[in-house]
Amino acid sequence: MAIVIGIDVGTQSTKTIFYDTEAKTIVASAQAPHELTARDDGSREQEATWWLDAIIACFRRIPTEVREAATAIGVSGQQHGFVPVDAKGEVLYPVKLWNDTSTALECGELTKMLGGSSVLLAEEGNLILPGYTASKILWFKKNHPDLYARMAKILLPHDYVNFFLTGAYTMEYGDASGTALLDIRTRKWSKRILEAIDPDRDLSDTLPQLIGAHECAGRVSTKAAHLLGIPEVIFVSSGGGDNMMGAIGTGTVHDGTLTMSLGTSGTIYGASNKPIVDPQGLLAAFCSSTGNWLPLLCTMNCTVASEVTRALFNKGVKEFDATAMKAPIGSNGVVMLPYFNGERTPNYPRGKGCLMGFGLETMNEANISRAAMESSIFGLKLGLESFQNLGYSPKEIRLIGGGSKSLVWRQMVADICDLPVVVPKITEAAALGGALQAYWGLLHSQGSGLGIGEIVADHVSLDEGSACLPIPANVSQYRTAYRTYASYVAVVEPIFA
């Protein structure tokens, strides 16, 4: 066996795969859940130790002989989380996550200080939005000055796991671009943003060394090897954010391919060999974890809409889908705005879930259920339109996340987006991406010139039996329904923005 490990530290759980690069298959895997602390002010937090506990629990479920055969590790982590550590590497405060909207005030303050949204897009390429790391740093400084004074390093979730594995502090460009601290065109930290956060302290000293996607973050330490039951000093790759790793795991490393993820959050992203900055600010201008760029749209609420609706009506998944399909496309004019966690795109940090458009005959379970499903994809269609408006010509959508397992969801995505949809055979895309990046980095360290594109072509395959083509009659009806949805999105802006 030639085993590489992929670790995906998500919001709800940690997933670990052991991938055999010779057999091109996952030989073992495990998953462990996380808790989440939520408060009415928009706070969404986790303890960093919960991730380590989950990783250790996962590894203990893997057969000893498989663990001992490991040669490299790549880590995927939920983006944007703020992990402040002291000089000893101890975490100073619960991690404020990607879906934390409690720092909306700080986003406004920084944006104003830095000249407004148009200047941020022109200078650095990204806005400063709730969820991104930059505003969390300012919030921490204002609300916990004593702890802030002790802060020695600013890490992201995957950086913290790499630190646990190696004892070294590093950060790679893909995940770094999601902090809103990086100039994505030059791939350098923005001095003016750092000074806006703290004019009295050089925050660049607290940021880890930036390394390339193929580079080594460090070697597994004796302590981590003992805890996980794996060999010491094996290669740990740069790793990256979950979307960046998901791009590798779905083969989205060349122009023209789009990946859509239907999970708690919804994302749609595409590979690009040049920076793509959306003048409307809807697409995030991220770097990739392959050395290129990864323009991306993220909604904070995706399958959460159908999950809370399913719970409301006490339905199982298949029963819920069947009920939803009793309503016609467009749900008889019933519209859900699924802003249960606030929202990032559109930028509605004070957003709440809404149901609109009821008539006396249309307020029923089927319409509400279908509206919940449709809203998840309508929110992502906004990103597809942004890609197309910027000249990106997608050929297909590669679908991942919980929703990808359902034929109903797949056909809905194909019809709403008017593009073919297909699911990768290995659906744990972020964990696979971590493993493949680790394999690429390991080979590079051994003198190989094999590129990530070649590795992806050899190891990422699609389940052709899952493919769905858009149905023209449905496409037309969804266009009308989407216009109705978009009109309601515009109406609530004064309330939620």
Amino acid residing at 41 = D
Residue 243 within a domain? no
Give me the numbers of helices (H) and strands (E) for the chain, helices first please.
19, 25
Q: Mark whether 421 and 472 lie in a shared domain.
A: yes
Q: Mark whether 220 and 285 lie in a shared domain.
A: no
Domain that holds residue 147: 3-238
Residue 228: alpha-carbon gap to chain centroid: 26
Backbone angles phi, psi at 368, to 5 degrees: -65, -40
What pLDDT does 402 receive?
A: 86
**DSSP class of 217:** E
**Residue 108 near residue 40 (C-beta atoms within 8 A):** no
State which of 174, 203, 238 marks the end of a domain. Answer: 238
- Tell me the per-residue pLDDT of 453-470, one tens digit each, with 9 for 90 and over: 999 999 999 999 999 999
What pLDDT does 264 receive?
A: 81
Q: Is-catalytic flag, 8? A: no
Residue 399 within a domain? yes
Helix (H) or strand (E) holding 153: strand 153-155
The residue from 175, 242, 321, 415 that is catalytic is 242
Query: What does the alpha-carbon distance between residue 79 and residue 158 come to, in Å, rounded to a whole number?
Result: 8
Residue 124 within a domain? yes
Q: Mark whether 343 and 217 lie in a shared domain.
A: no
Q: Mark whether 225 and 275 lie in a shared domain.
A: no
Residue 7: alpha-carbon gap to chain centroid: 14
Q: Mark whether 218 and 266 lie in a shared domain.
A: no
Q: Mark whether 47 and 191 lie in a shared domain.
A: yes
Q: Mark whether 136 and 285 lie in a shared domain.
A: no
**Residue 100 near residue 129 (C-beta atoms within 8 A):** no
Q: Mark whether 256 and 190 lie in a shared domain.
A: no
**Residue 334 near residue 358 (C-beta atoms within 8 A):** yes
What pLDDT does 497 receive?
A: 87
- Which CATH number does the domain housing residue 206 bear? 3.30.420.40
State which of 174, 205, 238 marks the end of a domain. Answer: 238
Q: Mark whether 44 and 177 lie in a shared domain.
A: yes
**Distant-in-sequence, close-in-space partners of 438: CB < 8 Å, separation ≥ 6:** 4, 5, 6, 72, 73, 74, 235, 236, 237
Q: Mark whether 215 and 323 lie in a shared domain.
A: no
- Tell me the per-residue pLDDT of 35-64, one tens digit each, with 9 for 90 and over: 999 999 999 999 999 999 999 999 999 999
Q: Mark whether 181 and 279 lie in a shared domain.
A: no
Residue 444 within a domain? no
Find tokens 């928009």 and name the residue. Answer: 42
**Residue 213 near residue 436 (C-beta atoms within 8 A):** no
State which of 183, 217, 238 marks the end of a domain. Answer: 238
Residue 41 within a domain? yes
What pLDDT does 1 receive?
A: 66
**91 bridge partner residues:** 85
Structural domains counted in the chain: 2
Residue 487 within a domain? yes
Q: Mark whether 48 and 95 lie in a shared domain.
A: yes
Query: What does the alpha-carbon distance between residue 284 and residue 127 come to, in Å, rounded to a whole number?
Result: 8
Task: Write out the two tokens for 225.
Answer: 């090897």
Residue 69 within a domain? yes
**Residue 483 near residue 335 (C-beta atoms within 8 A):** no
What pLDDT does 257 receive?
A: 83
pTM of the entire structure?
Answer: 0.93
Neighbours of 119 (CB within 10 A): 12
Task: Write out the two tokens for 449.
Answer: 């010139």
Neighbours of 448 (CB within 10 A): 11
Backbone angles phi, psi at 154, to 5 degrees: -110, 120
Per-residue pLDDT of the chain in tens (497 residues, 90 and over written 9): 699 999 999 999 999 999 999 999 999 999 999 999 999 999 999 999 999 999 999 999 999 999 999 999 999 999 999 999 999 999 999 999 999 999 999 999 999 999 999 999 999 999 999 899 999 999 999 999 999 999 999 999 999 999 999 999 999 999 999 999 999 999 999 999 999 999 999 999 999 999 999 999 999 999 999 999 999 999 999 999 999 999 999 999 987 789 999 988 899 999 999 999 999 989 999 999 999 999 999 998 999 999 999 999 999 999 999 999 999 999 999 999 999 989 989 989 899 999 999 999 999 999 999 999 999 999 999 889 999 999 888 889 999 988 898 999 999 999 999 999 999 999 899 999 999 999 999 999 999 989 999 999 999 999 999 999 999 999 999 999 999 999 999 999 999 98
Query: What does the alpha-carbon distance between residue 111 and residue 196 come to, in Å, rounded to a whole number?
Result: 9
Residue 293 within a domain? yes
What pLDDT does 263 receive?
A: 86
Query: What does the alpha-carbon distance between residue 325 and residue 415 come to, in Å, rounded to a whole number?
Result: 14
